[in-house]
Chains A and B, each alone.
Chain A
Amino acid sequence: MRKNILILLAIFSLIFAGCASTQERLLDSNQSQVELRSIQTRTYNTTNKEKLLRSALSTLQDLSFVIDKADYTVGIITAKKLNDYALEMTVSVSPKGDKQLKVRANAQYQNKPVADPEPYQSFFASLEKAKFLEEHNVQ
């Protein structure tokens, strides 16, 4: 009987030792980096970084996010939406060549990274709408 328990214990410890460490999630490298970047990035034909960042701010507010951080120099905005769930988003704006800016967004839903294309498509569609409204002076 005692021998059986010992064998069971040994098997259990082997199973747990075989479990992947949760530290691996630091680099979340199970998806292709190129693929993820293309899902999360859009390029705009403008060089007005301030205006694009301000559009991103108003888009996030339209989507019921509350801003956490914003910095012009580095071009980042971090915001959080609480609606029984927690959705956190970082938007970064950086130059692409001399005539364009690229906007990259990454999101985290509850405790998981968002890697599906649909949420990003919705976000960029909302951003484009906000940009359109601002450019055409509609409030």
Chain B
Amino acid sequence: MKKNYIFTTIIVLSLAIITSCSTGVPPEALKLNKKSLENRQLQTRVFDTDNEEKVLNACVAIMQDLGFNIKDMSSKLGVLVGTKQRDATKASQVVASVFAAALTGQATPIDDEQKMKVSIVTNYMSEDNERIKIRVTFQRLVWDTQGNITKREFLSKSEIYKEFYSKLSKSLFLEAHEI
């Protein structure tokens, strides 16, 4: 009888937990914060040119250099979108998985494949049409060997952006100014 009572309590509690878990959009997801400004500075560079087409062409070349396929673009709005799919196997995960398999006799899933996406948006700096700002953003999805998504993330390492703009700056023969 007592056992039954405990069992019912557990079920009621877990149901309460499940229903109380809010599945809505996190409140900060669509709000600007201090980090947004930092990210904007990290991801944006300004070039002294008035030729948006030339900038877009240079961006296409860099995207191709980096192995991205162009998925969408709008020259009128200065938008370029590209994706690439790559291997996501990490040696450390493989080793851990082999050890786990040896101990438990069961294979644990490891990261297998990733899809990376880049979007580049160019825009004239307000008023004077003599300078163009470029903002690039990256994100990726990672799948494990069982086909489950293990990572959904924005790529925010500053080295990525620095390297991207150093390449772009060389290709445009123009200096990249920070904002």
Contacts and interface: CB of A to CB of B under 8 A. Distances in A.
Contacts of A72: 74, 76-77
Report, as a range, how many residues of chain B touch the other chain. Answer: 35 or more
B179 A80 contact: no
Contact of B135 (A58, A109, A116): A58
Report, as a range, how many residues of chain A touch the other chain. Answer: 35 or more
Contacts of B140: 82
Contact of A82 (B39, B74, B154, B179): B154
Contacts of B125: 139
B85 to A, nearest CB: 15
Interface stretch (A2-10, A15-23, A29-37, A49-57): A49-57
Given A82-B154, A122-B30, A123-B30, A66 B137 contact: yes
Contacts of B77: 50, 53-54, 57, 70-72, 77
Interface of B: 23-27, 29-32, 36, 39-40, 43, 71-72, 74, 76-79, 81, 117-119, 121, 123, 125-127, 133, 135, 137-141, 152-154, 179
Interface of A: 50, 53-54, 57-58, 61-73, 77, 79-87, 107, 109-110, 112, 114, 116, 118-120, 122-123, 125-126, 129, 134-135, 137, 139
